[in-house]
Amino acid sequence: MNKILHKKRLATDVYQMRIAAPLIASERKAGQFVIVQIDSHFGERIPLTIADADTKEGSITLIFQAVGRTTHLLAEKSVGDTVAHVLGPLGTPTHIEKFGRVICVGGGIGVAPLHPIAQAMKAAGNELIIIMGARSKELLILEEEMRKIADELVICTDDGSYGRKGLVTEPLKDFCASAPKPDLAVAIGPPVMMKFCAETTRPFAVKTMVSLNTIMVDGTGMCGGCRVTVGEETKFVCVDGPEFDGHLVDFDNMITRLQAFKPKEDAEHHRCHLEEIAEKSP
């Protein structure tokens, strides 16, 4: 059992939790994730990126959006409660080196997994430009944390309630067209956003890494649920990724696969709790 040490609401339906996991905290690297199962009775396992870690406290930080049944149940937990299973760290860590000029683009909840990568890129001596996007100011997360490490920070909101009105691809294109152009772009967010970030950088030949969050069950490459097509080859996000060359990812195929269980997810999310209690009664 992993105890919840801290809980904070960052935005509408977005929560930050520090969970006791000393071994994971000591081993994790930027870009890695964990598989979480919230209790032994409800069996769904979900991947969540490790947003930060504190080796002294022996904790990892998870940031998630309550969109499905499992994340809603996790959001209902309080400090002192426990999470049944936390498996990790999983996935291939981000390749960190001094590239030169690095531009990190985060959309919505994707800002959370982007944060440790941006931290590591800055620590490696890179010039760091960060672009953050959200539908509105109320949905923006980790602005203060990103501002501390960025050489330049650009904020975009769809409705213009904060920062620059528009999509993150607009300032991304501006930076790619400037001199010197970025040596590397890292984009994390909704699949459609990552797809268009990759298409934005492609004409400028700016290498672009994306972090994929696909359907995942075991996180060790055995189930095959997270498979994606990258450069006409089949890859598994849990072991080969989660990061891939954005110019090679078949985003259309990935988006189609992500919708495979949507009807069942919706049915489970709206399932009557009285029905669930009745099933557990003797």
Share above pLDDT 70 across residues of the chain, in percent, rounded to a whole number = 91
Domain end marker among 32, 64, 90:
90
In this predicted structure, the answer to whether residue 282 has a pLDDT above a threshold of 70 is no
135 and 67: one domain?
no
228 and 142: one domain?
yes
Q: 212-225 pLDDT, tens per residue?
A: 988 777 777 788 88
Q: Which domain holds residue 76?
A: 2-90
Assigned domain for 275 exists: no
Assigned domain for 282 exists: no
Average pLDDT over residues 108-117: 94
Average pLDDT over residues 227-247: 92
Residue 111 near residue 47, CB atoms below 8 Å: no
Nearest Cα residue to 108 out of 59, 158, 180 = 158
Assigned domain for 263 exists: no
Assigned domain for 251 exists: yes
Distance, CA of 233 to CA of 225 (rounded, Å):
15
* pLDDT at 158 (0 to 100): 94
Mean of the per-residue pLDDT values of the chain: 90
In this predicted structure, the answer to whether residue 280 has a pLDDT above a threshold of 70 is no
Residue 39: exposure state from Cβ atoms within 10 A (0-12, 13-18, ≥19) = middle
Ramachandran region, residue 205 (left: φ > 0; alpha: ψ -120 to 50; beta: rest): left
The residue among 224 and 55 whose pLDDT is bigger is: 55
Per the structure, the count of domains in the chain is 2
51 and 115: one domain?
no
Give me the CATH number covering residue 27. 2.40.30.10
Confidence of residue 12 (pLDDT cuts 50, 70, 90): confident
Give me the CATH number covering residue 196. 3.40.50.80
151 and 232: one domain?
yes
